[in-house]
Amino acid sequence: MSLALHRNLLYALNAGGTVGDKDNLTAFLFVDGKLIALPESTRPLSGENTGPAQVSFTMEGDRLVVTERNTNIIDTFGLADEGRIKTHKMFQSAGLTSAVD
């Protein structure tokens, strides 16, 4: 799992867990000191068993960047004003993603 925080918006990068589950991103909001799931915010990565490695916000906070270890894909996700994902693009990485201990 990897986490990325921009202002009060937190995205969690999740491995699917069981066979057939999709690796995904899910958004949460920090409101009055509480973590609240952003409804309808869970989005899949490029497929099953992608080996999700890292999620980060761009400096502007309007996009997420995710690396997939098993596919060597870099996903970019454009965000709407309320924080939900509105676009998803995939790019082949020029190199391999190393394992994080």
Cβ–Cβ under 8 Å, residues 26 and 12: yes
Q: What is the pLDDT of residues 39-66, one digit of tens each?
A: 999 999 998 888 999 999 999 999 999 9
Cα–Cα distance list, 100 to 43, 52, 54 (Å): 23, 11, 9
Q: What is the pLDDT of residues 78-89, one digit of tens each?
A: 999 999 999 999
Q: State pTM to two decimals.
A: 0.87
Phi, psi of 100 (to 5 degrees): -105, 125
- Compute, in degrees rounded to 10, the torsion defined by CA atoms 29, 79, 56, 42: 60
